[in-house]
Amino acid sequence: MSQRVRTAVFPVAGLGTRFLPATKAMPKEMLTVVDRPLIQYAVDEAREAGVEHFVFVTGRNKSVIEDHFDRQFELETTLESRGKLEALKELQRDLPSAGHTSFTRQQEPLGLGHAVWCARDIVGDKPFALLLPDMLFKGEPGVLKQMIDTYEETGGNVVAVEEVPESEISSYGVIARGGGPDRGFEITGMVEKPKREDAPSNLIISGRYILQPEIFSLLADQPRGAGGEIQLTDAMQTLMTRQRFTGVKYQGQSFDCGSKTGFLTANVVYALDRDDIRPGFLRELRKLDLEDRL
Ligand code: UTP
């Protein structure tokens, strides 16, 4: 039987240059979709999948993330005294239990692979989930839960994938698909940001992983790859020669909230899907002459 995945790593040390100036002093993972920061959606998704220990790899300007996952006694007392008990309950529900969060620093943003490597001592010798919080997924169950369901059958490493148009393929890590169903097929190769003509498929790695701890020793020796960064995809490629990698073409919709258009689209979709927001939001939208603007 595969070892249970109890730990998740959230790399939040990137510079977020695509979202400047918003991300100059604030981490992009604290940008809100409707009323929740991106990092909260990722933590909720991990919790739904059975994760109990949340590891954040932070960088400069990221202490606000630590504060977000801490209690705020002054605020809680005020909410209580004002009778805003529903809001108080929601704040308390969002918090991981005491002692179930860990924070470590990536001192320099040397790439995703390096950020993951920074979590090695906290994760230890166990499989772990990796969630990139700027990728937001709307799925039921959540994407990580879908992956865990597959992992329980296959073990090894599991990667969520999705199709993109060929014109976009050079911006992503791309996989080569082997045999098996959409919910669990063998991955036979992967390459980071290939030229369009070299891409092995139109299936991209989309920000959710279950990895075995052997990835850490590979990352330790990983030379810089595409963009001069230490690339996780390069280390996974080596691990693939020794361990199984399974692809899960997940059910659901993804929003790349590291890009302005993805983020704005997510806000519209999440607002329209919220019973408490939809009526007022539609009323305001109808007041705009959208036809003229579109
Ligand atoms: P991105 O490449 O989307 O993040 O990394 P970025 O570098 O912050 O963004 P841009 O391209 O400059 O706008 C995906 C995830 O990996 C983290 C990011 O914080 C994000 O959650 N990351 C990336 C790190 O933690 N460290 C890094 O060195 C790079």
Positions in the chain short of pLDDT 50: none
36 conformational bin, left if phi > 0, alpha if psi -120 to 50, beta if neither: beta
Q: What is the per-residue pLDDT for 137?
A: 97
Q: What is the per-residue pLDDT for 195?
A: 92
Q: What is the per-residue pLDDT for 291?
A: 78
Q: What is the per-residue pLDDT for 226?
A: 79
Mutate to test the pocket of ligand 1, among 132, 135, 192, 208 (most ligand atoms within 8 A of CB): 132
Q: What is the per-residue pLDDT for 118?
A: 97
Ligand 1 centre to CA of 119 (Å) is 15
Ligand 1 centre to CA of 115 (Å) is 9
Q: Is 18 in the pocket of ligand 1 (CB under 6 A)?
A: yes
Domains with residue ranges and CATH for the chain: 7-284 (3.90.550.10)
Q: What is the per-residue pLDDT for 60?
A: 76
Ligand 1 centre to CA of 206 (Å) is 13
Atom of ligand 1 nearest to the CA of 134: 21
Mutate to test the pocket of ligand 1, among 134, 192, 193 (most ligand atoms within 8 A of CB): 134
Question: Which residue lies with its CA nearest to atom 22 of ligand 1?
Answer: 14
Q: What is the pLDDT of residues 231-243, one digit of tens each?
A: 999 999 999 999 9
Q: What is the per-residue pLDDT for 265?
A: 98
